[in-house]
Amino acid sequence: MKKPIEDEYAPFYAGYIESIGEKNPLSVMHEQLREVQNLFSVLADTKAVKSYAERKWSVKELLGHVVDAERIFSFRALSIARGEEQSLPGYEHDDYVAGGKFNQRSIKSLVDEFIKLRGSNLILFNSFDYETLKRKGTANNRKVSVRALIYIMAGHVEHHLKVFKEKYLPVL
């Protein structure tokens, strides 16, 4: 799969797409399954409610956000792939995290949810042909292609894995 060009996504997402570069985003997404499991499964629930700074998300909230975003981006990709012409809504990630009550869940349940969701998304995305991947729609009032959404998903998780390793791990 070729990297999307700039007219396929909002400028805000450029960093996520650039973080994947010329790698196959589906391969990156597959590798992220192992990485998420290896990094988060070993954490005790008592540690996973901690944050690296005041007013920052806990580990569970970070992972819950990753799960929510995975769901939202995959819904957008599916909708556009199937020809949806209506604009898909945006979302406020801080409100979703607050509403998710992730600190009340076990870290295991969040890891399991991510693994199952990502696995399902990989099956779906591998079924898309070239024409489907380049199909564009509107999400959050911005034009976006299916392939850009796949790159964004992979880059979003890359971003949060980097944040976890650099900021959370040192204080855990």
Show me where the domains of the chain are located.
6-20+42-171
What fold, for 6-20+42-171?
Four Helix Bundle (Hemerythrin (Met), subunit A) (1.20.120)
pLDDT reported for residue 109: 98
pLDDT reported for residue 136: 98
Q: Name the pTM for this structure.
A: 0.96
pLDDT reported for residue 24: 97
**Mean pLDDT, to the nearest integer, of 82-98?**
97
**Mean pLDDT, to the nearest integer, of 140-169?**
98
**Secondary structure letter of residue 90 according to DSSP:** -
pLDDT reported for residue 165: 97
Tens digits of residue pLDDT in 3-53 = 999 999 999 999 999 999 999 999 999 999 999 999 999 999 999 999 999
The helix (run of H) or strand (run of E) holding residue 137 is strand 136-139
- Contact present, 144 and 9 (Cβ < 8 Å): yes
pLDDT reported for residue 132: 98
Tens digits of residue pLDDT in 56-85 = 999 999 999 999 999 999 999 999 999 999
Beta bridge partner(s), residue 122: none
On the CB side of 71, CA atoms within 13 Å amount to: 13
**Continuous H helices in the chain:** 14-20, 25-40, 45-48, 59-81, 93-100, 107-126, 130-133, 146-163
**Secondary structure letter of residue 144 according to DSSP:** E
Distance CA 128, CA 139 (A): 19
Joined tokens for residue 16: 């996520």
pLDDT reported for residue 52: 96
pLDDT reported for residue 151: 98
- The total of other beta-carbon atoms located within 10 Å of residue 12's CB is 10
Distance CA 78, CA 150 (A): 10
pLDDT reported for residue 146: 98
